Structure 1
Amino acid sequence: MQTKLLRSSRHVWRNVLPGGAPGCSQGTPYSFWAKEGHPTKLAVIFAGGGACWTGENAALHGKPFYQPFAGLEEDPSNLGGVFDIDNPENPLSDYTIVYLPSANGDVFLGDSVTVYDVPAMGGLPAGKINIVHKGYENAMTALDWMFKTYPYPKTVAVMGWSAGALASPIYTHIVAQHYPDASVTHFADGGGAYRVGEKLVPLFTSWGTANVLKKVKGFENVTIDGLSLEDLYIRVAELHPEIIFHQYNERHDAIQAFFMQLMGVDAPDVPANLDSAHAYIRAKVPNFRTYTSWGHDEGIIGGYYDAVLAKNALDNRGHPHALDRLYTRQTNGVRFLDWFTAAVTGNPVENVACVDSETPEYHWTRPRFPQ
């Protein structure tokens, strides 16, 4: 196990290269990041990074829509959101944070080395490519390191955004099993609209998700036939009635619509899918809460920004105001940061849903300038 120290202001991020990790999608070494904070307050964060399941979107010279590598280039030091450790409003500012980049194109649900047929494109002839879909094993090497390094936490927040949100319930279950005396919380940022039926089966098959389920206690008898991402929430919520599972989405998330099109959905309806998915989960388990906001973007915890246009040319020297969504997003008068802080610290929250999904709402006041 090797570590490299990188400093961000007064904080230190360690790049950890775990022994035994199967590696990234192209076989390069996998590494993750850790920041030392309070030894009994942990946060484990699964990053976004897209996915691949065909030769065309797996080959780097084709149309890749996934992060294929995880190394020093994934340094989170300069990210905003929960990584803005110097922000006094950040509920994770004093936490020890373990950050897992996505690097296998399998949303951390992979346990396979898959050979894809690559069509002729980009000036290159047709061929084949091996993709290391080992996101699960890479994640487990990081978690094993965390379990050994921080054996007695009192609280653990498990969260992920975009691709990292999809498997976050399973990893919350794994963390809760290992830390039975800790207070474990969950938060998923995005990914709530993938209620696409059998169109998930080819992805699970390519990734080897069935192999993952056989390795997770409580999922040994779960098959990928008819399996939905909502079923993962339901199974874990049933296994852990003491944990509330939380999910954030923007009502017209264009990223989710794009990936549904890649799956073969002709006219993705993100709002309808969100409503259907949330209703399905709520009909089965009571420990599930959602915050559905206005907008077309994806991602709020990992350092994402809204550009608010000026009303006149003198406002902000004619440039948009760039607002970190984690700290300024608001929906129906409910500030997201307050909702998120309560969720990850184990306090109750109510469901929030936008009424007008197009009009922006911010917990922020435009600076006043002299006339």
Structure 2
Amino acid sequence: MVLAGCDAPRSSRDSAAGSPVWEKVVPGGDCRCADGSAFSYWERRADPTRVVLFLNGGGVCFDARMCAFTSTDSPGENDFYNWNQQSAQSPDDQQSGFFALTRADNPFTGYSVIYVSSCTGDAHLGNVAQTYSPTLTVQHRGYVNGTAALDYLATHYPNAAQVVGIGKTAGSIAAPLYGGLVADRLPHAKVTVFGAQSGAWPDNPDFNATVLGRAWGAYDAVPAWAVDGLTVRDWGVPRFWVQAAHHTPGLTLSRFDYAFDPHAAAEVTRWMPGNPPNLLAVIDANEAAIEAAGLILHSYTAPGASHGLFENDSYYDIKVNNVRLVDWLDALVTNESPDDVHCDRCDPL
């Protein structure tokens, strides 16, 4: 069960000139980062009828080495994940790519945005205090934090007609489940999910039980519909799409991946088939398995081994088979049904 008490009053949202600004929300209560420090998310209030719930990446961890509270390049971060928000970049500091929210060819220009940072190492899925060693207990509370932001969205945007759940890298793992949660809270809204760069995450029974089940406590944290009919060993990341679609048939589901992104699933390659695994083959097999369950997963697969997508203006330059990604996304969120886009030559270089 999700613990209560993670919300905060609203504050002023607009600058003196009347343009939308980013405001930090510190929910308090049971929300927290991995080391027990305060968690916060951000709001940019614009059109109250069109809202993006943005689940940011930030890495994952699931053992004492990965989860250690030992800073490397920046305070509050190690080589695997952000364990607090000391160095978390405000979305206000990002003016390019997706965050150019006044640019004419940005499909999300004019949208309100709830931006949820990750500082728990569990892909917005966990609800457990996990002891990895006598000196290391990690608060995997990503699901508590994420649903607090979601509840805030539902409370303060009750007339939202369109909600787009965007997940970036590790944040995209849980994106379809959050799509179903949005639909539960705002049943009259059109809900679209865009999960970017987790298409290669495997459905491996050992990973499912070891990480999703035991380390993060995710299997026990999510609502009953998300695991309906599945044991923890059956409940792999590709199944999240299927469970969400069966729960909310009206969801529009979509994903993006670079064919050979070396960072998008680096933590879980040991659970993939092949030695070394062929990332594109895993992505394509996952999509085939998802669609074999009877749902439509709109997809855009780009060539190469890039990693960044939302942070810079290459977001506007991506074009595969003469289809720009931003045009494809625009069609996706304007009630059209774009064809899948898949690179013909998907070389990693």
Q: TM-score, normalised by structure 2?
A: 0.87
Taking the aligned partners of 1:235 and 1:194, their CA distance within structure 2 comes to 16
The corresponding residue for 1:255 is 263
Per the alignment, do residues 8 and 199 of structure 1 end up closer, same or farther by CA in structure 2, a change over 3 Å counting?
farther
What's 2:241 paired with? 233
For residues 43 and 30 of structure 1, the distance between their equivalents in structure 2, rounded to whole angstroms, comes to 20
Could you tell me which residue of structure 2 aligns to residue 92 of structure 1? 108
Match of 1:307 in 2: none
Q: Report the CA distance between 1:26 and its aligned residue.
A: 0.5
State the AA in 2 paired with 1:93. T
Q: How big is the shift at 1:226?
A: 2.4
The question of 1:65 aligning with 2:74 is answered: no
Q: Give the C-alpha shift of residue 244 in structure 1.
A: 2.2
TM-score by length of structure 1 reads 0.82
Q: Is structure 2 residue 66 aligned with structure 1 residue 78?
A: no
Q: Is the 1:295–1:358 Cα contact (8 Å) retained in structure 2?
A: yes
Give the superposition deviation at 1:54.
0.5
Counterpart for residue 24 of structure 1: 33
Q: Does 1:105 align with 2:121?
A: yes
Pick closer, same or farther for the CA change 1:333–1:359 going to 2, 3 Å. farther
- Give 1 or 2 for the bigger CA radius of gyration: 1
Runs of 4 or more consecutive aligned structure 1 residues displaced over 6 Å after TM superposition: 4-9
1:256 aligned counterpart, secondary structure: coil
Alignment identity in percent?
Answer: 26
Instruction: Check whether the contact 2:28–2:39 (CA below 8 A) recurs between aligned residues.
Output: no
Alpha-carbon contact 1:32-1:71 (below 8 Å) kept: no
Contact 1:58 1:131 in 2 (8 A): yes
How many aligned positions are there?
330
Q: Find the aligned partners of 2:15 and 2:80 in 1 and give their Cα distance.
A: 30
CA distance in 2, matches of 1:67, 1:29: 13
Q: Which amino acid aligns with 1:330?
A: K
Deviates most, 282-291 or 9-18? 9-18
1:262, distance to aligned residue in structure 2 (A):
6.2
Alignment-mate amino acid for residue 20 of structure 1: G
1:223 Cα offset (Å): 3.0
Picking from 147, 150, 155, the partner of 1:143 is 150
CA apart distance, 1:4: 8.5
> Which ranges in structure 1 are unaligned for 5 or more consecutive residues?
118-126, 305-323, 361-371
Alignment of 1:196-215 (within 5 A): 196-200=203-207, 201-204=209-212, 205-213=214-222, 215=223
CA distance in 1, matches of 2:211, 2:16: 38
**Cα displacement (A) at 1:196:** 4.9
Q: Deviations over 1:179-213 (max 9, x none)?
A: 11111111111100112512422111100012213
- What amino acid is aligned across from residue 210 of structure 2 in structure 1? P
Shift of 1:74: 2.9
